[in-house]
Amino acid sequence: MSEEDYEKSTGEAPFLDHLEELRWRLIKSIIAIVVFAAGAFYFSDYLFKGLWYPLKQAAPELQIHYFRVTEGFTTRLKLSLVGGAAAASPIVFYQIWKFVLPGLYQREAKIVIPIVSASTFFFFLGTIFCYFVLLPYGLNFFYTQAPEGTQPTLMMSDYLGFILVLLLAFGVVFQLPVVSFFLGRIGIISSKFLAKGRRYAVIGIAILAAIITPPDFISQLGIGIPLYILYEISIIIVRATGRAEGREKDGNNLAG
């Protein structure tokens, strides 16, 4: 059987073809980000004001400074790229899942649009939660920890770096239900596996919360509780849609 006949019969493309597809999907994602970033550059002032809002809530009198001559322009570029990436996230998620799902099982291609929609939803849900809930408390915590009699001088690049990393981290960790759905769909995990791993999940969530949040108990609870809720949601999703669940039900029916 020739390679072409094998590919047609199995639906499996050679390894180099997968690499070529990955390359083109990365290129398409980068183009989408650049195009949206070009548009976001015009609104960079609004983006900066939006990211400044949590600090204004925590410390209204605190000002942001910068030292380097080019920092104003580089900040605009950074904000534009972040805004472009956020606006292009549905396209980026589409390219990612369009590559992953058909590459594993051709019949799973029909769930690309729903899973892309879910990825986009949970990404923005995570960033919104971080922006409105965690950041005001976290910034207030850090601001109030300064020794008495000192006056903080906040650098623009440091502040934006801190904010953007946290927003991205929350957008990523809130993908847990989507990733669990995918792994359950292809039969790698089951709801029983996730349920048995609750104690380890709690430890992992506590460690993750300690890493990406300010070192105070309230902020760590602020991320730990939502993450654990997402874990329980993941168990429900896998139980309802997982392939292993279907095999288990079939086995039980045969046994009965």
Same domain for 114 and 188? no
Cβ pair 190, 242 in contact under 8 A: yes
Residue that finishes a domain, picked among 139, 173, 207? 173
Same domain for 134 and 219? no
Q: Give 114's pLDDT tier (boundaries 50, 70, 90).
A: confident
Residue (of 136, 241, 111, 102) closest to 184 by Cα position? 241
Domain tally for the chain? 2
Start-to-end C-alpha separation, the chain? 43
Q: Give 177's pLDDT tier (boundaries 50, 70, 90).
A: very high
Say how far apart CA 214 and CA 90 lie, in whole Å.
Answer: 30
Residue 105: predicted pLDDT: 58
pTM for this model (two decimals) = 0.79
Same domain for 8 and 57? yes
20: its two tokens: 């070529």
89: its two tokens: 């996230």
Residue (of 127, 97, 100, 131) closest to 112 by Cα position? 97
- For residue range 55-102, list pLDDT tens digits in order: 887 777 777 877 877 888 888 898 899 899 999 999 999 998 888 876
Neighbouring CB atoms inside 10 A of 82's CB total 21
Residue 1: predicted pLDDT: 40
Cβ pair 89, 123 in contact under 8 A: yes
Residue-range definition of the domain harbouring residue 149: 1-173
Same domain for 138 and 239? no
Residue (of 100, 121, 128) closest to 185 by Cα position? 100
- For residue range 131-150, list pLDDT tens digits in order: 888 888 778 777 777 777 77
Same domain for 159 and 253? no
Same domain for 14 and 133? yes
Same domain for 32 and 79? yes
Residue that finishes a domain, picked among 158, 173, 188? 173
Across all residues in the chain, what is the average pLDDT?
80
- For residue range 32-54, list pLDDT tens digits in order: 999 999 999 988 888 888 888 88
What are the b/e assignments for 161-174, b being 16+ CB within 10 Å? ebbeebbbbbbebb
Same domain for 48 and 137? yes
Same domain for 180 and 166? no
Same domain for 52 and 92? yes
Same domain for 19 and 90? yes
- For residue range 11-28, list pLDDT tens digits in order: 455 767 778 888 899 999
% residues pLDDT > 90 (the chain): 23
Same domain for 158 and 190? no
Residue that finishes a domain, picked among 173, 207, 233? 173
